[in-house]
Amino acid sequence: MLNIYASYDVFPSSKGSSTHIKEMITALATHAEELSLLCLRGNAKLPAVQKHDNILIKRFYSEVKLNYLEKASLFSERVYLEISQNENEIKIAHFRDIWSGLGITAHKNIPSVFEVNALTSVELPYHYPNLTDEFLEKLKFLEQKCLDEATVIITPSATTKKFLIAAYAVPEEKINVIPNGAYIPESFEKPEDAPDHYIIYFGALQRWQGIEVLLKAMSYLKDYPDLKLLICSSVKEKAFKPLKKLIEKLELTDRIIVKTQVQREELYNYIHFATLSIAPLKACERNITQGCSPLKILETMACGTALVASDLPVVRELVSEQEAMLVEPDRELDLARSIRFLLDTPEEREVLAAKALQKMKEEFTWELQVNKLNQVYKNLI
């Protein structure tokens, strides 16, 4: 028997989604003789077909000439064909997005899981700001179709669950909240190129992440002459270019260190040896209404580093004032004041980091989340 996991994303990659996909497919692979992962290829460096234990990865469409919608449509067709060829053998089909879901839910007899980390109609305008209302309505129609036809929905955030109920009329009992998780490293080794005194931001650079707010906050901390901001971005170096002008304008060029596509083990070392980790999420529709489950917060907790984060409902699902310094979002001066306070009070940093690590062990390890996911699969079977 066969299980399917489909994602309109490149795997593996340095993005947080790749970590999530790895955990999901590892769990799903235990419920069948074989798991097929259907995903994007990204570029020719990744093999089109790859086998590891009982997991078969099939990657499609590395052509750079295809635009987003062309590639998405072709991917949906490819998923549909893959399902059709193995329809009688498939026990469970799990998908992360509408482009995967359209190819899966067309097969009504296959139990399906829609993993809603984000919705395309909310996310895509951040990448393509000139999308028309008519096009976004079409996306919402496709989202509604996938939500209605999926057997079960899982989401990492209670905020997202509320959004799906309110905006798409999804029955509450159909949705399972399974937060993101993290692994707690057994040991750490300080990277040779790590600054002596630094705070860290890591993750993607989309506008909702609030990296501009953090850069502006750094301009209020110039009286700490040796303090650096280390930015470990999950995207390619060229994606950072738009922020370079802001850094130059703020006269922070000598205070900012940028590293791109850092591997997970090395990233955890950078996090652990940072004085603080910053998660300056913005108060926007993506974070407030749709919701998310920020891996950067969980991975900071797992690395034993004190956290400063925006005070948003999605953040409070993971930490309270007992485990992190929470600040009003989108206010660079308030963020700078909070960073300053913790820079000057090492004993407070230690208390927050210790309590956050303990909460991670009790509530947010990947082992705990995978156990919840396995129960969803067992109920489907």
The whole-angstrom separation of Cα 2 and Cα 105 is 16
pLDDT at 19: 87
Q: What is the pLDDT of residue 188?
A: 97
Tokens of 204: 């993607």
Greatest distance between any 2 Cα atoms in the chain: 67
pLDDT above 90 covers a percentage of the chain that reads 87
Task: Note if the bond before 195 is cis, omega within 30 degrees.
Answer: no
**CA–CA distance, 214 with 209 (Å, rounded to integer):** 10
Q: pLDDT digit string (tens) for 275-328? A: 999 999 999 999 999 999 999 999 999 999 999 999 999 999 999 999 999 999
The reported pLDDT for the residue numbered 220 is 98
Q: What's phi and psi for 222, nearest 5 deg?
A: -70, -10
Amino acid at 236: K
- pLDDT value of residue 64: 67
**Token pair of 336 as six digits:** 């700078």
Contact 275, 266 (CB under 8 A): no
- Domains defined along the chain, listed by start: 2-181+365-380 (3.40.50.2000), 198-363 (3.40.50.2000)
- Residue 359's pLDDT band (boundaries 50, 70, 90)? very high
Q: The whole model's pTM is what?
A: 0.94
